[in-house]
Amino acid sequence: MKYLNIILILISFNMSAQEWITDIDFENKINEKQAFGDDQTLPVIVEFYAKFNDANKFDQWQELTDVVYYRADIAKCPVAKKKYKVRMAPTLIVFKDGIKEEVWKAGLDLELPTNLEEIQETINEINNASKF
């Protein structure tokens, strides 16, 4: 029983662990097909992160629904950073089928100018728009 509890704890930790992406797998991840409906895929949200601004990272990613969430360290994603014109961290970009749909960039104060509700509302709108 003791080992079963340890296994369950490890499984639940892995399910909630943040997945990091780099330039190597960036394009594959934002174009990844996730089952969502009959022929639809989930949007993908990527947070461009910088260690120097860890205090302002987006911490509520586990509360987002109907979306796949990744974090990309800007030091390990110079190609994606340049391609998507990421100048500040954190920056959140929502992709649908590999196409950039929405962007939130930190301001000069290095804080993200959005909240969980606005992000979730945007995700819901993207999911609803793709139903038609």
pLDDT tens across 73-116, in order?
999 999 999 999 999 999 999 999 999 999 999 999 999 999 99
Whether 67 has a pLDDT exceeding 70, the answer reads yes
Distance of CA 47 to the CA centre of its chain: 5
What are the backbone angles phi and psi of residue 104, rounded to the nearest 5°? -125, 120
Length of the chain: 132
| Ranges of H-type helices in 17-105 | 26-30, 78-83
pTM (predicted TM-score):
0.82
- What pLDDT does residue 79 have? 97
Whether 68 has a pLDDT exceeding 80, the answer reads yes
Please compute the mean of the pLDDT values over residues 125-129 and round it to a whole number: 93
Binned at pLDDT 50, 70 and 90, residue 32 comes out as: confident
- What pLDDT does residue 15 have? 43
- Tell me the C-alpha distance between 129 and 112, whole Å: 25
| Ranges of H-type helices in the chain | 2-16, 26-30, 78-83, 116-129
Average pLDDT, the chain: 86
